[in-house]
Amino acid sequence: DTGVSQDPRHKITKRGQNVTFRCDPISEHNRLYWYRQTLGQGPEFLTYFQNEAQLEKSRLLSDRFSAERPKGSFSTLEIQRTEQGDSAMYLCASSGNEAFFGQGTRLTVV
């Protein structure tokens, strides 16, 4: 494992459906981040974990979003009752000192 892996790479869903994304970090990294990026913007912080503990969560994150990292390894990000405004690239990163990103999951809500 040489990098951060995200699955799926693309997801198209109907409005109102729930979606779940997975992130597998670089194995020796204990911090894991979720970001959201829309066209023309930089990545927007959503949440981050140190091991299994969720240490910080953006105030912008609605209650429809939840993230877990149950054993301090992989993480999942779930969005419930998706809305068209949730369409974005969801990026996962992991870090020791520097943060490295996965290829992202592009979500389209139709």
Partner 1 sequence: EDKVVQSPLSLVVHEGDTVTLNCSYEVTNFRSLLWYKQEKKAPTFLFMLTSSGIEKKSGRLSSILDKKELSSILNITATQTGDSAIYLCAEAASGTYKYIFGTGTRLKVLA
- Chain positions contacting partner 1, by CB under 8 A: 31, 33, 35, 40-45, 48, 50, 55-56, 91, 95, 97-104
Least separation in angstroms between CB 16 and partner 1: 28
Non-local (6+) Cβ contacts of 84 within 8 A are 15, 109, 110
Contact 12, 105 (CB under 8 A): no
Least separation in angstroms between CB 45 and partner 1: 5
Least separation in angstroms between CB 26 and partner 1: 12
